[in-house]
Chains A and B, each alone.
Chain A
Amino acid sequence: MGSPMNERVSTVPSPAPWSVRTKREARQAAIKSWLEGMVYLCPSLLLFGVFLFYPLGRTMYLSVFHTDYQGHPTEFVGLAHFVALLQDASFWHSLKATVLFAALTVPTTVAVSFGLALLAHETRKGIGIFRTIFASTMGMSVGVASVIWMFMYNPAIGIINRLVSAIGGTPVSWLLDQDTALYAVAAATIWMNIGLTFLLLLAGLQNIDPSLYESARIAGMSYWRQLWTVTVPLLSPTLFFVTTVSLIQALQTFGQIDFLTKGGPVEATNVFVYAIYREAFVNYQFGSASAQALVLFLIIAIVTFLQFRFAERKVHYQ
């Protein structure tokens, strides 16, 4: 700091030299601004710390331990959980179910939503009503949607089987048959996800400069040509975003599974998150469940990385 005051002889201490004073003030100002910034950030950082970073670390910690029923680690086992997982047929089955589920839901949701967005993009009388209808499934929460679809899938009195019988087919136990269960849940999931995906794609469409379409019309391009030349490339950032988010969401599906099939029948719908849930909160194997959670984290990270590496190259940013 500056020269101590008590060394001075004169009664009035003269101010510190200019350079020292500004340096000190600058430092104080820097500390003050840092404090102020941190005050605004504090809630977020604190919450992230307690509910995200700490648990992440703890999951990694727990994954290398045996745990007791209270979740306390008891015995260090190293990578034993991971090894056991790779050798567990149930794990691979679960992985297969998850991948199949994602492959069923994501492309279909995006394709259907894209089609709906194209339909709803034109300006016609009353188009607002249709836009609201198409977006409505966003307001269907998982419990509501699941219970309705569960009823629709009911083998005896559900509407789907009634329709099937009416056209002469044999009714199927959609949710109880291991060949159809995953598809049934996928159908319900697609329906649930259409709302938000549609809104996002519609927003993307409306962001495209209309003069590009006009230029195409003047050049004589047909509707499909315009779609391919103008719409898809200019929508590609939104399409990419929507696909990535949907994929990550699909890998994390839980609610409908728990509601409709509870992972069955015979583990046909035992997607990853459900398996983790079962392992941790039904079997109380927190250690091994933590290991599975980390594997899921890794899978999601890899998938996202691959998406960005390969799919993003095709995206045309402006």
Chain B
Amino acid sequence: MAFLELVEVTKSYGGKKSAVENVNVAIESGEFFVLVGPSGCGKSTILRLIAGLEPLTSGYVLIDGQVANDWPPHARRLSMVFQNYALYPHLTVEQNMRIVLQAQKVPKEEQVKRCMEAAELLGLTDVLHRKPRELSGGQRQRVALGRAIVAQTPLCLMDEPLSNLDAKLRAKMRSELRRLQRQLGMTVIYVTHDQTEAMTMADRMMILHDGRPQQIGSPLDVYNSPDNTFVASFIGTPPMNLAEAHVLNHSLLLQNERPIRLRRRSLPKAERVIVGLRPEHIEPAESGEESMAVKVSHVEWLGNETLVTFELAKNLYWTARWNGQWRIRLGEVVPLTFDEQDFLFFDASGKRIGAPSIKREEVWVHQ
């Protein structure tokens, strides 16, 4: 039995277009589940519905198999980490953490014990007597996390907790959070707009767009097998290259200009498709290899890899990602090659066509 289940959950405000629609997902105990999508896609709304801060318009929230729609927040036994931390400015760090336990009438010694343990876990022992305004952003974030930890609730909700931190701290906290979650065995539902965060932290994720779930799956599943063009272009940096194409007998005509012959791959049975290819699947051609010549329009050297943007057709620019540092000049014409099997096809409305491309060996360690 799933730990938390959402069945046909819909939320709309005042008869206007719904904020979220037809959300269906089953989340297992101990899972780190991420809700990801651009701003305004409804991910925070779903979190708040799970928390019980707002009522559903229709659908069900099932906790441990029971319909929890009418349960007030504290009956759902969850804790929440807010984006702006929601720390009580007039209380010390210790009081901030203990206040949750006081409300639940936990005995005093137990309160102190849990508080000390959490403080040690998070490196906050030295600042227990300080007030939030005396702390740095990273410390405040950890206090908010500490509040969730001491509550020892089975479910923890996190609403973009890292978005107020600078990039370096964010990267560090990502691994910290994940480590803590595994150590404590918490089930976490995590909201973010950053697809890198989602990819690096999630056991499974749900990508949302405009209030509607686009796909649910593990990071690699979603990466390798996107269900539609939105997911394909949202997940992955740099984003997947997409182009409209006509399907001809044995080749594709990209944007009425660039023909690509396919020999080892069957073409989809449609006239017009959208073709997708990830940047890392475009490689520089060795001499003698069958290749396509393109003119380079932009190059970025990241040190460990080079991003080459080239003109595939008029006003159609694709990006290739090559390992290493390549000496390429702007305007140069370079030969490229790719594996036909790496193509993904989508129909004109953006939905994925045909059998998913052959899955690579999945190396996935699941705890």
Instruction: Tell whether any CB of A sits under 8 Å from a CB of B in the complex.
Output: yes
**Most central of A212, A214, A219 by chain B CB within 10 Å:** A219
Determine if B104 and A220 form an interchain contact, defined as CB atoms under 8 angstroms apart.
yes
Smallest beta-carbon distance B96→chain A, Å: 10
Chain A, interface SS category:
helix
Binds B, one of A53-61, A228-236, A267-275, A287-295: A228-236
Determine if A218 and B90 form an interchain contact, defined as CB atoms under 8 angstroms apart.
no
Determine if B90 and A234 form an interchain contact, defined as CB atoms under 8 angstroms apart.
yes
A-B CB contact pairs (8 Å), 29 listed: A212-B86, A212-B88, A214-B80, A214-B82, A214-B86, A215-B82, A215-B86, A215-B147, A217-B72, A217-B73, A218-B53, A218-B73, A218-B79, A218-B80, A219-B74, A219-B79, A219-B100, A219-B103, A219-B104, A219-B151, A220-B103, A220-B104, A225-B103, A229-B99, A230-B88, A233-B89, A236-B90, A316-B89, A318-B133
Smallest beta-carbon distance A177→chain B, Å: 46
| B46-87 contact mask (Cβ, 8 Å, vs A): 1 or 0 | 000001010000000000000000001110001110111010
Give Cα distance in the complex from A211 to B161, angstroms: 13
- Chain B residue nearest to A214 (CB atoms) is B53
What are the 9 closest A-B residue pairs judged by CB atoms, nearest first? Answer: A220-B74, A316-B90, A211-B86, A233-B90, A215-B86, A219-B100, A221-B103, A218-B73, A211-B82
Chain A: interface residue total (CB-CB under 8 A): 19
**Most central of B72, B74, B78 by chain A CB within 10 Å:** B74
Smallest beta-carbon distance A224→chain B, Å: 12
Given contacts A211-B83, A217-B53, A233-B89, 19 further A-B contacts (CB under 8 A): A211-B82, A212-B86, A212-B88, A215-B82, A215-B147, A216-B103, A217-B73, A218-B51, A218-B53, A218-B79, A218-B80, A219-B74, A219-B103, A219-B104, A220-B104, A229-B88, A229-B99, A236-B90, A316-B89
Give Cα distance in the complex from A236 to B88, angstroms: 13
| A189-219 contact mask (Cβ, 8 Å, vs B): 1 or 0 | 0000000000000000000010110111111
- Chain B residue nearest to A233 (CB atoms) is B90
Give Cα distance in the complex from A218 to B84, angstroms: 16
- Chain B positions near chain A (C-beta within 8 angstroms): 51, 53, 72-74, 78-80, 82-84, 86, 88-90, 99-100, 103-104, 133, 147, 151
Smallest beta-carbon distance A211→chain B, Å: 4
Determine if A219 and B99 form an interchain contact, defined as CB atoms under 8 angstroms apart.
yes
If A215-B82, A218-B73 touch, does A318 touch B53 (CB 8 Å cutoff)? Answer: no
Smallest beta-carbon distance A312→chain B, Å: 14
**Most central of A211, A221, A236 by chain B CB within 10 Å:** A211
Determine if B88 and A233 form an interchain contact, defined as CB atoms under 8 angstroms apart.
yes
Give Cα distance in the complex from A234 to B51, angstroms: 24
- Chain B residue nearest to A314 (CB atoms) is B90
- Chain B residue nearest to A220 (CB atoms) is B74
Determine if A215 and B80 form an interchain contact, defined as CB atoms under 8 angstroms apart.
yes
Name the A residues within 8 Å of B78 (CB-CB): 218
Give Cα distance in the complex from A220 to B90, angstroms: 20
Name the A residues within 8 Å of B103 (CB-CB): 216, 219-221, 225
Smallest beta-carbon distance A187→chain B, Å: 35
Name the B residues within 8 Å of A230 (CB-CB): 88
If A217-B72, A217-B74, A225-B103 touch, does A318 touch B89 (CB 8 Å cutoff)? Answer: yes
Give Cα distance in the complex from A219 to B73, angstroms: 8
Determine if A209 and B51 form an interchain contact, defined as CB atoms under 8 angstroms apart.
no
Determine if A209 and B80 form an interchain contact, defined as CB atoms under 8 angstroms apart.
no
Give Cα distance in the complex from A188 to B92, angstroms: 43
Smallest beta-carbon distance A104→chain B, Å: 30
Name the A residues within 8 Å of B83 (CB-CB): 211
Give Cα distance in the complex from A230 to B88, angstroms: 7
Name the B residues within 8 Å of A219 (CB-CB): 74, 79, 99-100, 103-104, 151
Name the A residues within 8 Å of B99 (CB-CB): 219, 229
Give Cα distance in the complex from A76 to B242, angstroms: 97
Give Cα distance in the complex from A296 to B82, angstroms: 51
Give Cα distance in the complex from A198 to B83, angstroms: 31
- Chain B residue nearest to A211 (CB atoms) is B86
| A132-143 contact mask (Cβ, 8 Å, vs B): 1 or 0 | 000000000000
Give Cα distance in the complex from A149 to B153, angstroms: 58
Name the B residues within 8 Å of A233 (CB-CB): 88-90
Smallest beta-carbon distance B98→chain A, Å: 11
Name the A residues within 8 Å of B86 (CB-CB): 209, 211-212, 214-215
Give Cα distance in the complex from A209 to B104, angstroms: 23
Name the A residues within 8 Å of B104 (CB-CB): 219-220
Smallest beta-carbon distance B123→chain A, Å: 22
Name the B residues within 8 Å of A316 (CB-CB): 89-90
**Most central of B53, B88, B151 by chain A CB within 10 Å:** B88
Smallest beta-carbon distance A182→chain B, Å: 37
Give Cα distance in the complex from A236 to B89, angstroms: 12
If A211-B82, A318-B133 touch, does A220 touch B89 (CB 8 Å cutoff)? Answer: no
Smallest beta-carbon distance A314→chain B, Å: 10
Give Cα distance in the complex from A229 to B103, angstroms: 11
Give Cα distance in the complex from A9 to B73, angstroms: 94
| A276-318 contact mask (Cβ, 8 Å, vs B): 1 or 0 | 0000000000000000000000000000000000000000101
Give Cα distance in the complex from A150 to B100, angstroms: 53
Name the B residues within 8 Å of A220 (CB-CB): 73-74, 103-104
Name the B residues within 8 Å of A225 (CB-CB): 103
- Chain B residue nearest to A316 (CB atoms) is B90
Name the A residues within 8 Å of B53 (CB-CB): 214, 217-218
**Most central of A209, A212, A220, A230 by chain B CB within 10 Å:** A220
- Chain B residue nearest to A222 (CB atoms) is B103
Give Cα distance in the complex from A217 to B90, angstroms: 18
- Chain B residue nearest to A230 (CB atoms) is B88
Smallest beta-carbon distance A212→chain B, Å: 5
